[in-house]
Homo-oligomer: A and B are copies of this chain.
Amino acid sequence: MLILVTYDVQTSTTGGAKRLRHVAKKCGEYGIRVQNSVFECVVDATQYKQLQLALEKIIDPEKDSLRFYNLGNKYNSKVIHIGAKETLDVEAPLIF
């Protein structure tokens, strides 16, 4: 299933920049970055739970915001991109 992860990390506070880097790094382990603080992760239910728990440990819940959106398994028709930085279709066959 496709999980969209969006986040706002308050970098004006101490440790904020570090939390931001760690959130992006952790999301990168599960999916691809499509915008500055937006990742698309194709994961199963177990991986989704792992990602949630891992990110919860990184953020400061008083200052930072994490949002997860579950677009299910049939998601191609649900996503529209306009403008710069088109992303690679994570599941399309790589043709060389």
Contact = CB atoms under 8 A, between A and B. Distances in A.
Interface string A54-96: 0110011111111111111000011111111100000000000
B78 A66 contact: no
The count of identical subunits is 2
A32 interface: no
Interface residues of A, number: 36
A7 interface: yes
A59 B82 contact: yes
Contacts of A68: 79-82
A43 interface: no
Interface of A: 4, 6-8, 10, 34-38, 52, 55-56, 59-72, 77-85
